[in-house]
Amino acid sequence: MQGYSTGGKGQWGKVLPPGSQAVTLKETGEKRFPWRIIVGGMLIILFFAGLVAASYYYAEWKFAENQKLLVQNMETTLQSIKEANAINIQILEGEINSLQEQLNEINSALKQMDESITGSNVAKQALSKRIVDLSGRVEELRQSMSFVKEELTE
């Protein structure tokens, strides 16, 4: 291969004058430092480091976004539960008041009946049973209402 340089520092592809011979790296014993390999390796390392950093920040951002959505969902659910409990308390209070009024009416009717009919034990027993039933129902509703109120305050 006369006329073309095949080695030497900076000699690749240069035309040599006629009669001269190209000197190769093997002949001179000169070693080339692999700059291209080091630079390429550094670029690959930098690329993957950037990829890891970008992935970390993206995951952190997504986590924060999902956490905000979860908190909003929990607050909305908690608010709807509180509203439902408030409505249930109002309903229970209405039922308790209604039962209390019925109980008062039965007591007054019993007193009037006791004064007018002293000998009829059947009517007294029926009214007494009704009073006991309604009293039990009122107590159950009060317990339910206190439970709902406790849940609402928590």
Statement to judge: residues 99 and 126 lie in one domain: yes
CA distance 30 to 21: 17
Q: Which domain holds residue 6?
A: 1-32
Statement to judge: residues 63 and 26 lie in one domain: no
Statement to judge: residues 57 and 102 lie in one domain: yes
What are the tens digits of pLDDT across the range 64-117? 999 999 999 999 999 999 899 889 889 988 888 888 888 888 888 877 776 666
Statement to judge: residues 46 and 6 lie in one domain: no
Average pLDDT, the chain: 80
